[in-house]
Each structure stands twice: as C-alpha cells, then as structure tokens.
Amino acid sequence: MDMTLNAFTLSLLTGLQLGSIYVLIALGLTLIFGTLGVVNFAHGALYLIAIYLAVSINNTLGFGLALILVPPLLFVIGVAMERGLIQRFYDRPHTDQILVTFGLAIVLQELLKWIFGANNIPFAIPSWGNGIVMLHDYLPFLEGFVVYPKWRMILVVVAIVTVSAVFALLHLTRFGLVIRAGMRDAEMLQFLGVNINRRFMVVFGLGAMIAGIAGVFGGPVTQVSPEVGMQLLVPSFLIVVIGGMGSLGGAVLAGILIGMAQSFTAPYIYLNTIIIYLITVIILLVRPRGLLGAKGVFE
C-alpha cells in the first residue's frame, strides 16, 4: 500500500469524522443499555427526529435556535418515551423490548416520512461553518494544497466535547456515581434506598439528548431522509457490541476504530463494504465480550 502523507492525513480526518457520528449515537445506545438493560432499536429514530427538528428550525429560525432547542427537546422526547413506553417493559423479556422498540422505530420513521416526504431535505450550513480549512497552513509536513470541509472538522470537535462532558458527568458528579453504580448492580442500589427509577428516566433522556446533538451537527453530513435512522443504527449497534455492551469507553474506542476502518478501506470498494462486519466477527471470536466489556454484564 503506497500512501502519501497527504492522503493519510485526509483519511485520518475522514475516519475521525465518520467515527464522531457513530460515537455520538453509540454512546446514547450503550448508556441506555448499560443502565436500563434495554436495547433501543428506536435509537436511530431518535436521531431521525433530531435531524428533522434541526433542519426545520435551522431553515426557518436559524442554526443558533436549532442548537439551543433540539437537544433539550430530544431530552424531553426521550423522557416521555421512557415514561410512556419503555418503563412498562423492564420486567418483560429482552425480546419483547427489542420488538416494541423496533415497532416504535417503524412508526416514528413512517410518521416522519409522512410529514416531511421521502426525499432528502437540504440542510443549510450556517455561514460560519461553511467553506474549507487549509490544512497545509497548519501542518507543515503536508505537501502542496490540502483542504478539508470546515463543517466536518467542527463535527469532530463537537463529538470530542460531548464525549468529554458525558465522561465528566459520570465520573465527577454524584449523579454519575449513582448511575455507574446502577450499571453495575441496580438491585443493590435499590436496596440502599436510591430511587433508581427517576435516574433511569434521566439517563434515557440523556441518551436521546446526545442523539439530538448528533442530529444538529450530523444532519448536514448524513443527509436528512427517513432511511438515515436505520442506516446508522446497524453500525452503531455493532460498535456497541465491539466496544462491549454497556461500556462507554468501549463505544468511543470502537466508534473511532470503525470510522477509521471505513475511511482507510475506501479505495478498496469490496473490502470497504464488508469491513465493519469483518471486524465485528473477528473481535467477537477473539474477545467475545467486546474490547472493553466487563465480565458478567449481559452474557
């Protein structure tokens, strides 16, 4: 493989950018799975709601309001979803949880298709995010003229900030401590007199909110059409599995790994289409628990 430094840098950036969206969606999935033990097949639909809300607000009221409104709105939608539906399924078998969220995903997707149509809606990037970054100005080792879309770099930065914020919340606050304890042993926490039900609700909202942030910044990159939700859900699931179910660090690691793998195999079209599945199979054969999966968690 003969690759110039220029091409390598660009592939690296594309890998980071692809990984960013995956990480943001997988983070919510794994957070919900780790605490509530629910596999949320409707998580792709949450992202879908986010991008449609974002594009509607962005194209009428401007990007600033979309950024302020969409994540909190998604938090509310997530909480409503948990209270109204998911809550009833904590005591039911896992398959029932998969089925009901799968049904919800279809309903939400079809509803959005009905309202907004099946075609892609153009998502106008705000003026400050438009244009390209001259990479050769910052990185002296690059030869000649190397540019990258500015918006995609912003997306990477947003992902880094969001992931850091989630980790800070979980590791530096009392709320986070309780959530992490809940991920390990929810029953024990209940015996200690902690109302985990309310915190579960917040976690679900949080997962939805991260999907909201992903939607605001990812919408212009992933396009805005009803199929996007399911298209992203499958790789995100695989990332959660590769990283180890319920492991936040694992999700981040696996998300970047998959993003990089897709980016660096781009010249080899055949390998590119199956690389993500290939990695999943190999990882699961070598490490059945996933990269950072904890022992005894949903085995």
Partner 1 sequence: MNTQSNFWQYNKTVLMFAVVALTMPFWFPLMGGYSGLDTKIMIFCIFVVGFDILLGFTGYLSFGHAAFFGISAYVTGIMLKNFSDNIIPAMLVAVAAATVVALIIGLLTLKRTGIYFSILTLAFAEMFDSMAMSMLQRWTGGENGLTGLPTPMLFDLKMQGDTVFYFCALMAIALFYFAKRIERSPVGLMMKAIKCNQTRLEYTGINARRYKLLAFVLSAIYAAIAGSLMVVYEPFVGHEFLGWHQSGEIVIMSVIGGVGTLVGPMLGAAFMLYFENVMSVNLGEQWLLVLGVIFMAVVIFMPGGFMEAMARLKKRFFTTIDGE
Contacting positions for partner 1 (CB under 8 A): 33, 39, 85, 88, 92-96, 98-100, 102-104, 106-107, 110-111, 113-114, 230, 234, 237-238, 241, 245, 269-270, 273-274, 277, 280-281, 284-285, 288, 298-299
HSE-CB at 253 with a 13 A cutoff on CA atoms is 15
Looking up tokens 């500015």, which residue turns up?
150
Closest approach of partner 1 to the CB of residue 109, in Å = 8
Cα separation, 34 vs 17, whole angstroms? 25
Output 84 or 193, the one with its CB closest to partner 1: 84
Concatenated DSSP letters for 18-30? HHHHHHHHHHHHH
Closest approach of partner 1 to the CB of residue 280, in Å = 6
The sign of the dihedral angle between the CA atoms of 38, 42, 47, 53 is negative
Closest approach of partner 1 to the CB of residue 123, in Å = 24
Output 166 or 241, the one with its CB closest to partner 1: 241
Output 33 or 217, the one with its CB closest to partner 1: 33
Looking up tokens 């309903």, which residue turns up?
107
Q: Where are the alpha helices (DSSP H) in 1-93?
A: 5-36, 43-61, 63-84
Output 96 or 185, the one with its CB closest to partner 1: 96
Output 61 or 281, the one with its CB closest to partner 1: 281
Closest approach of partner 1 to the CB of residue 133, in Å = 32
Closest approach of partner 1 to the CB of residue 234, in Å = 5
Cα separation, 55 vs 70, whole angstroms? 10
